[in-house]
Amino acid sequence: MNINRVDLNLLVYLDVLLRERNVTKAANHLGLSQPAMSNGLRRLRDLFEDPLLVRTSEGMTPTERALSLQPVIRDVLANVEKAVQPQSDFDPSASDRVYRIMASDYAEAVLFPQVLTRLRQEAPGVTLDIMTPSDVSFLDVEQGKVDMVINRFDSMPQSFHQTTLWKDGFSCMFSADNPIKDRFSLEAYLQAQHVWVSKTGMGVGVGVNPRDVQRLGWVDEALAKQGKKRRISVFTRHYQAAMLLAEQKDLIVTIPSKAAKLHADNKKVVVADPPFEVPQFELKMAWSPLLQNNAAHQWMRRLIVDVAHRNH
């Protein structure tokens, strides 16, 4: 391919077409007419010698070549944007920026009180819009509509930038009136009734199948490796609700240890180590390559990482 044939605008067209997968929507996004966008797609097909997008029963579907191009094109455009943007320092004390951050209520409860304390001191005009995992899709993050996402992730797009905020283990919480406190063994754990709590990744959740151990997470997988299975009475996606349910006399909640420590002074519950080994997990923060070089975004990332490492 002769580089002289490459029109930067065509790469912008391709980036939007692969996100929207619809010529009309892509045209509207770029403020172009549909014929102009169709002509752009024709030129792109000639340039790459590939159909790129093929009409199927499910709409416009990208070819294998198009999917391989997508992260490359995104990086090229991000670097071009970085090159042409004027270099300016970000002044947090004068900023009124709104940061939209997706976080599980575990991360929200454990991390953000200290983050807010720092923001009041360093950036009093900044606003946080904390969103739940079900509010956000990977596409929202990819397009920069959400500044960053903080959660446990089984997987995420390779194009995302990410960092580990901390590693955490698990603790058990149950009522101080629960007789199990005097004989907290694996056998007693398995005979008890349990609250399952988890919200990994992002996107709209689906119902839980109690028989599908592989999808129940770290705790149940650890038990399954020993040929054991616990009796789950309640499924919830909210850690705060689960910790309140731990006050009921006949329930055990097994949750991340940093969340359990929030209730260390609650005389109604007991916090104990699990009577079996559960692997640690990582809490990660991820963001779009489109925001990687944004000065305001870089400042917030540094603040969150600093708070996470200082206090945890």
pTM: 0.69
pLDDT > 70 in the chain, percent: 91
> Could you report the per-residue pLDDT of 286-305, keeping only the tens digit for each?
999 889 889 999 999 999 99
Mean residue pLDDT of the chain comes to: 88
What phi and psi values does residue 151 have, to the nearest 5 degrees?
-175, 180
- CA-closest candidate to residue 255, choices 48, 63, 156, 107: 107
Residue 20's pLDDT band (cuts 50, 70, 90): confident
Q: Are 307 and 115 in contact (CB under 8 A)?
A: yes
Taking CA atoms, 246 is separated from 169, 177, 182, 197, 249, in Å, by 18, 11, 16, 12, 8
Residue 208 has pLDDT above 60, yes or no: no
- Cα–Cα distance, 221 to 195 (Å, whole number): 15
What pLDDT score does 4 carry?
Answer: 66
Give, to the nearest 10 degrees, the angle between helix 8-20 and helix 23-30. Answer: 130
- Cα–Cα distance, 180 to 199 (Å, whole number): 27
Which residues, 6 or more positions from 50, have their beta carbon under 8 angstroms from its beta carbon?
Answer: 63, 65, 66
Residue 217's pLDDT band (cuts 50, 70, 90): confident
What pLDDT score does 212 carry?
Answer: 58
Which residues, 6 or more positions from 235, have their beta carbon under 8 angstroms from its beta carbon?
Answer: 195, 196, 197, 208, 210
Of residues 247 and 264, more confidently modeled:
247
Outline where 161-283 has alpha helix (H). 186-191, 218-225, 239-245, 257-260
> Could you report the per-residue pLDDT of 77-131, keeping only the tens digit for each?
888 877 776 656 789 999 999 999 999 889 999 999 999 999 999 999 999 999 9
> Could you report the per-residue pLDDT of 175-207, keeping only the tens digit for each?
999 999 889 999 999 999 999 987 555 554 555
Q: Are 287 and 160 in contact (CB under 8 A)?
A: yes
What pLDDT score does 296 carry?
Answer: 95
In the chain the domains, ranked by start, together with CATH numbers, are 3-84 (1.10.10.10), 98-167+282-310 (3.40.190.10), 170-203+214-279 (3.40.190.10)
User: Which range is least confidently modeled, 22-36, 41-55, 78-92, 193-207?
Assistant: 193-207
DSSP strand E in the chain: where?
53-56, 59-62, 98-103, 127-131, 148-151, 161-168, 170-175, 193-197, 231-236, 251-256, 269-272, 281-287
Residue 8 has pLDDT above 90, yes or no: no
**Sheet strand arrangement including 161-168:** 127-131, 98-103, 148-151, 281-287, 161-168
What pLDDT score does 81 carry?
Answer: 77
Mean pLDDT of 32-61: 90
- CA-closest candidate to residue 240, choices 112, 100, 154: 112
Residue 157 has pLDDT above 90, yes or no: no
CB < 8 Å & 24+ apart, contacts of 184-188: 184/272, 184/275, 185/275, 186/228, 186/275, 186/276, 188/275
Structure tokens belonging to residue 168: 């955490």
